Structure 1
Amino acid sequence: MAEGARDRAILHVDMDAFYVSVELLSRPELEGRQVIVGHAGERSVVLSASYPCRSLGVRSAMPMSAAVRMAPRAVVLEPDMAAYRHYSGRIMAIFREVTPLVEQVSVDEAFLDVTGSLRRLGHPQVIGDMIRRRIRTELGLPASVGIARNKFVAKVASTRAKPDGLLAVPPAQTARFLHSLPVRSLWGVGERTAQVLAGAGIATVADLAQVPVRTLERMLGAQGPQLHALAWGLDDRPVEPVRVEKSIGAEETFARDVSEPEALRRELLRLSHRVAERLRASGREAGTVVLKVRYADFSTITRSRRLAQPAGAAPALHQAAESLLDALGALPQPVRLLGVRAEQLAESAGHQLSIDRSEGNWRQAEEAMDRIRARFPQGAVRPATLLPGRGPSEGPAGAGA
């Protein structure tokens, strides 16, 4: 372990059933009931589920059709992403009042390094209690907090504290805490790895901790030593306040399988505009465009193309994605999901406005549309080909970005 790592105080704060909790703010009559957030329809997936639903086996990302069978009395609510982003911003603002060392992991969770705040705010558990109290009092939302000397153990602790609890693991108790848990508690132990370990008689973290590193390496390759370190609570990664996205993408699962080429081209244009908007918001451009196609039988392929020069405007992204789709030739079966992703991101260098249809002209035009949408969200500006009723995804089964 790196020198000084043992003295760190790391918090992992994770909101409880975040999307559901936000919805309950305006629907208090649903408190304590079975609630699922997700697009209605058999082909969509669960975005969040209340704890009464989770007790029946409902989990995020499972097909909505399966969730409804498990919880037939559940109330299904359409997601309100704007509301979730709003509350996420307020939550992160509370964190940053405690410490500048906040690493946002997702819309509803973050790591906080409060080592430098101890003298000012007190013991880590006092800080954790204060954060939970502020989120509950100011926003009306529940949160769980894990406290430990590193990120891994803090994350495990917050999971064990759910729902709406706090668990602190003193440094001297780290190994004892971890060794009481099933081996699936370790990062990186999925179903396949768990099967390999079970075949060797390894069921708990304590079991794995006693296996020699070289034996684990023979069993699991490079993952073996990593899991052995985690089993002893060794994780020296710092809390990184700025997380640089390696890619920006958007995808759509259609309400019905699509086989018409023109419908797929329109959807590629829609997705390209969504990706371009996120690129502009982040001040970056794409060096590579990736196309994702999932067919009706769930088989999935990806194709990528490197751009001649970095681009952040929708036409350039769409042209690359469309050429990748054309290169696939005749589709072997209808398409269930289509996605566009920008990779090899670089900071935007800015573009000189000219009289031709250059990347800079397109980007400045789209930035103007961004400003119009910000002022008049109900009258969103979009390409004519994307007007309502002209794309295959009106009433989508589910979308990801």
Structure 2
Amino acid sequence: MPQRTILHIDMNAFFASVEQQTDPALRGKPVAVTGKSARTIILTASYEARGYGVKTGMRIFEARQKCPDLICVPGNNRRYTSISRRIMAMLHDYTPLVEVFSIDEAFLDITGSLRLFGSASRIAHLIKARIRHRFGLTCSIGIAPNKLLAKLASEMKKPDGLTVIHQERVAAILENLPIRELCGIGRQTERTLTLLGIRTCGELGRFPVHILTRRFGVVGEKLHRMGLGIDDAPVVPAEAAPDVKSVGHSTTLERDITERGEILAILLRLAEMVGRRARKHAVAGKTVTLTIRYADFSTFSLQATAGNYTNQSDDIYQAAVLLLDSVDLRQPVRLLGVRITNLRHHTEQLPLFVEERKKALATAAMDMVNDRFGDFTVTYGSLIDEKKGAGVISPAWRPEGVRHVEVS
């Protein structure tokens, strides 16, 4: 296989940088972007705030203990997703092989573009200059022979960095690199590898493969290859991405709740969000999963599989209610989630029976109104007084397709 050239682009402190660019009074100051609920956390922090130790996921009072002058700004998700879409569209000027990794990250396979633009570094500089000129934002870019190493390279110099990892330098770079620095090795995997005496990528690459596969199954072979800096995964543009396996939404509640009526209202809203997105992309599911997180953060899921595929919100809701009624809630509820799986794609035909057909047509009419005038413009009576919007941008968010979620 000929050597590829991959770019990983990572926007620097994206949400906070957008806020600083929008409001010049915030520039050069410690800024933290937060959610809008009463129990919000730090979503991201500017580099000025990070210098004080403010980190993503911190509670606000903890962040203020580290940085008393911290300026907290409620997130503007519509602004972030709009800018992200335009940046991702810009990247297609350099290659059709663009894989959106998250709202502020993307991989580009520029192997076929080098002859046109001259070099990988030149492409990277062009991208950085255009993003700075158009949006006033900076990004860090990593260049390497594969996605694993390109992402590692983009993390090496922040903010506004550009790092190239050449194939002949891979072994030296990985030898003493902590395993947690590799994308795909989370805390649990790191703990397990540490128990095996593996702390660096060099040690991981030399560790006996048969022991890794005995402990991790087929993932063991992948971990071994990661330790060697090997990654054959292609850059997958949106049009070539495999069909999604699930459609779901979850929400962390502003306060812990116990009242059944409050829980049902939230389940109905979640079911409508799931159903509407599934209908928009002609997806239906047979299995409904309900996720509940208690006040002490213990979390569990329940699921049920029906005989028919559905993307009707009330069907999803009724299934979620049956699952809820199958358990006795031991504590107040902190988070609720609804998801459909066991999917069938491209389901656009009307139901056979008259009543089901009427329901489908009525739902389609409601979707048309909401598409034009905004989510929940037309909704169930019990949700009229509820707040609108998805609230939080999921890590699975994409600029288009079934993973795209309209946010408030």
TM-score higher than 0.5 here? yes
Among 375, 381, 384, the alignment partner of 2:378 is 381
Give, in whole Å, the separation in 2 of the partners of 1:355 and 1:197: 56
Paired letter, 2:315: A
Deviates more, 1:7-16 or 1:63-72: 63-72
Residue identity opposite 2:295 in structure 1: A
Q: Show the counterpart of 1:265.
A: 264
CA deviations on 1:298-333 (whole Å, 9 max, x unpaired) are 1111011123222222111111111111111x3212
| Alpha carbons of structure 1 residues 163 and 201: separation in structure 2 relative to 1, 3 Å | same
Equivalent position SS for 2:92 = helix
Does structure 2 conserve the Cα–Cα contact (< 8 Å) formed by 1:255 and 1:396?
Answer: no
| Mapped partners of 2:366, 2:89: distance in 1 | 28
Aligned twin of 2:335: 337
Alignment partners' CA distance in 2, 1:378 and 1:224? 44
8 Å CA contact retained: 1:44, 1:398? no
Where in structure 2 are the equivalents of 1:344-355 lying within 5 Å? 344-352=342-350
Query: Displacement of 1:70 after TM fit?
Result: 3.1
Which one of the candidate residues 65, 70, 73 is aligned to 2:66? 70
Q: SS at 1:98's partner residue?
A: coil
Task: Give the secondary structure class of the aligned counterpart of 2:93.
Answer: helix
Instruction: Note closer, same or farther for the CA distance 1:379–1:316 as it changes in structure 2 (3 Å cut).
Output: closer
Select which of 45, 48, 56 maps to 1:60: 56
Q: Tell me, which stretches of 5 or more residues in structure 2 are unaligned?
A: 395-404
Deviation at 1:235, TM superposition (A): 0.6
1:369 corresponds in structure 2 to: 366
Tell me how far apart the structure 2 counterparts of residues 348 and 149 of structure 1 sit (CA, whole Å): 36
Aligned with 1:118 (options 97, 114, 117): 114
Q: CA deviation at 1:76?
A: 1.5
Query: How far does residue 238 in structure 1 lie from its aligned partner after superposition?
Result: 0.8
Q: 1:150 to 1:398 in 2, by over 3 A?
A: closer
Question: Does the Cα contact within 8 Å between 1:253 and 1:398 map onto a contact in 2?
Answer: no
Choose which of 192, 205, 208 in structure 1 pairs with 2:204: 208
CA contact (8 A) 1:43 1:397 kept: no
In structure 1, C-alpha distance between the alignment counterparts of 2:390 and 2:310, rounded to whole Å:
28
Structure 1: 5+ residue stretches without partners: none
CA distance in 1: counterparts of 2:144 and 2:390, whole angstroms: 42
2:90 alignment partner, one of 87, 94, 118: 94
What is the TM-score when the length of structure 1 is the normalising length? 0.88
Q: What is the root-mean-square deviation of aligned Cα atoms in Å?
A: 2.7
Counterpart in the other structure of 2:400:
none
Report what 2:131 is aligned to: 135
Stretch of structure 1 that moved more, 101-110 or 224-233: 224-233
Describe how 1:1-400 pairs up with structure 2 within 5 A. 3-4=1-2, 7-39=3-35, 43-199=39-195, 201-217=197-213, 222-242=218-238, 243=241, 244-328=243-327, 330-352=328-350, 356-358=354-356, 360-377=357-374, 380-388=377-385, 391=386
CA positional deviation for 1:272: 0.8
Which deviations, in whole Å up to 9, do the C-alpha atoms of 1:243-268 show, x marking residues without a partner? 33322211121222111111111110
Q: CA deviation at 1:160?
A: 1.2
Task: Give 1:120 shift.
Answer: 1.2
Query: Distance between the aligned counterparts of 1:312 and 1:112, measured in 2?
Result: 34
Tell me the amino acid that sits aligned with residue 144 of structure 2: A
Aligned 8 A contact 1:354 1:361 in 2:
no
Deviation by residue 1:250-299 (Cα, 9 ceiling, x = unmatched): 11212221111111111100111111222233332222211011111211
Secondary structure in structure 1 of the residue aligned to 2:132: helix
Give 2:399's aligned residue: none
Does structure 2 conserve the Cα–Cα contact (< 8 Å) formed by 1:251 and 1:399? Answer: no
For the residue of structure 2 that corresponds to 1:175, the secondary structure is: helix
Paired letter, 2:370? R
State how far apart, in whole Å, the 2-side matches of 1:394 and 1:82 are. 13
**Structure 2 residue identity aligned to 1:368:** A
Q: Is the 8 A contact 1:287 1:307 kept in 2?
A: yes
Q: Is the contact between residue 290 and residue 342 of structure 1 (CA under 8 Å) also seen in structure 2?
A: yes
Q: Distance in 2 between matches of 1:97 and 1:229?
A: 32
User: Normalization by structure 2: what TM-score?
Assistant: 0.87
- The amino acid across from 1:295 in the alignment is Y
Q: CA deviation at 1:228?
A: 2.3
Specify the alignment match of 2:401 in structure 1: none
Q: How many residues end up aligned between the 2 structures?
A: 392
After superposition, the Cα gap between the structure-2 partners of 1:237 and 1:397, relative to the gap in structure 1 and judged at 3 Å, is: closer
Q: Report how far residue 26 of structure 1 moved.
A: 1.7
1:255, 1:397 within 8 Å by CA — same for their partners in 2? no
Amino acid at match of 1:189: I
Distance in 2 (CA, whole Å) between partners of 1:363 and 1:146 is 48
Q: In structure 1, give the amino acid aligned to 2:334.
A: R
Give deviations 1:131-183, integer Å, cap 9, x for gaps.
11111112222111111110100010111132121111112222222224222
Larger mean Cα displacement after TM superposition, 146-155 or 250-259: 250-259
CA distance in 2, matches of 1:64, 1:246: 35
1:58 CA displacement? 2.8
Q: Which residue of 1 aligns with 2:397?
A: none
Structure 1 position 217, deviation (Å): 4.5
Q: Contact between 2:36 and 2:75, CA under 8 Å: does it hold in 1?
A: no
Q: Is the 8 A contact 2:286 2:342 kept in 1?
A: yes
- Which deviates the most, 283-292 or 206-215? 206-215
